[in-house]
C-alpha cells in the first residue's frame, strides 16, 4: 500500500493549482516539490501547511540562509532524509561559496571551519539542542541567543522555524517521500 500520492500540477484541482502557483511565485522555484505535491490530495491541509511555511520560512526578519541552515541541522538531528536533502539543496543554492562537504560543519557545535557570524553559530547550536531535547533547553541557552544579539521577536521566529522543521520532518519521514530530482541525499535511506 503506497503511503502517499503525488498530485502533479497538471492533475491538480483549480484550488490546489492556485496554491501551487503561490508556492512557485513566493519561492522562485520552477517546479512543485514532492512535499507540496503530496498534500495536493487535500486542499485544506495543503493550504494550512503552505500558510505555516510562508509565516515561518518565507516571511520574517531572520535571513533566509540562516533559516535554511536551521532547518537543515534540525532535519539531520531528526533523521529526516527528505528534509535534510531539501534544505541542504536550499542552503547551497543561497550561498554558492559553500560546498556539500561544508554542511557537516553546520552540524558540529565545535567545528569552526566555516566563517559563520557568531549569531548564526548561536542559532544553529540552539536548534541542535532543541532538536535533541526541547525540555532540556535552559535559560542559559536562551541567554546565549540574547548575547548573540537576538531580540525576543527573533527568538520566537527561530523557535517557529525549528518547530516547522520538526513538523515536516515527521510528515515526510512517515511518508518516506522520495527525494526530488536534483536533491543530493545527506542521510542513508531507511530500510524497507
Kind and range of the H or E run holding 153: helix 152-175
Query: In this predicted structure, what is the pLDDT of residue 37?
Result: 98
Cβ atoms of 19 and 47 within 8 Å: the answer is yes
Query: In this predicted structure, what is the pLDDT of residue 187?
Result: 86
Cβ atoms of 63 and 55 within 8 Å: the answer is no
Q: In angstroms, rounded to a whole number, what is the distance separating the alpha carbons of residues 94 and 118?
A: 19
Kind and range of the H or E run holding 105: helix 103-107
Query: In this predicted structure, what is the pLDDT of residue 189?
Result: 77
Task: Report mean pLDDT in 10-residue bins for the chain, 192 residues.
Answer: 92 98 95 97 98 95 97 97 96 93 85 85 96 96 98 97 98 96 86 66
Cβ atoms of 8 and 14 within 8 Å: the answer is no
**DSSP at 12:** S
Query: In this predicted structure, what is the pLDDT of residue 104?
Result: 87
HEC string for 49-83 = HHHHHHHHHHCCCCCHHHHHHHHHHHHHHCCCHHH
Residue 108 CA to its chain's centroid (Å): 18
Among 57, 54, 62, smallest CA distance to 22 is for: 54
Amino acid at each position: 500500500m503506497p503511503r502517499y500520492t503525488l498530485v502533479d500540477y497538471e492533475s491538480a484541482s483549480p484550488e490546489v493549482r492556485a496554491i501551487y502557483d503561490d508556492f512557485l511565485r513566493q519561492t522562485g522555484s520552477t517546479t512543485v516539490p514532492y512535499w507540496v505535491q503530496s498534500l495536493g490530495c487535500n486542499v485544506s491541509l495543503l493550504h494550512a501547511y503552505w500558510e505555516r511555511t510562508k509565516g515561518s520560512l518565507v516571511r520574517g526578519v531572520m535571513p533566509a540562509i540562516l533559516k535554511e541552515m536551521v532547518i537543515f541541522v534540525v532535519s539531520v538531528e531528526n533523521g529526516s532524509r527528505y528534509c535534510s536533502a531539501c534544505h541542504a539543496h536550499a542552503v547551497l543554492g543561497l550561498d554558492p561559496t559553500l560546498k556539500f562537504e561544508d554542511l557537516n560543519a553546520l552540524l558540529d557545535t565545535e567545528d569552526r571551519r566555516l566563517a559563520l557570524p557568531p549569531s548564526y553559530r548561536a542559532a544553529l547550536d540552539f536548534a541542535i539542542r532543541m532538536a535533541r531535547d526541547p525540555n532540556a533547553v535552559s535559560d542559559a541557552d536562551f541567554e546565549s541567543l540574547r548575547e548573540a544579539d537576538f531580540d525576543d521577536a527573533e527568538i520566537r521566529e527561530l523557535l517557529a522555524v525549528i518547530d516547522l522543521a520538526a513538523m515536516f520532518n515527521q510528515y515526510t519521514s512517515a511518508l518516506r517521500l522520495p527525494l526530488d530530482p536534483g536533491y543530493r541525499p545527506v542521510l542513508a535511506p531507511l530500510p524497507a
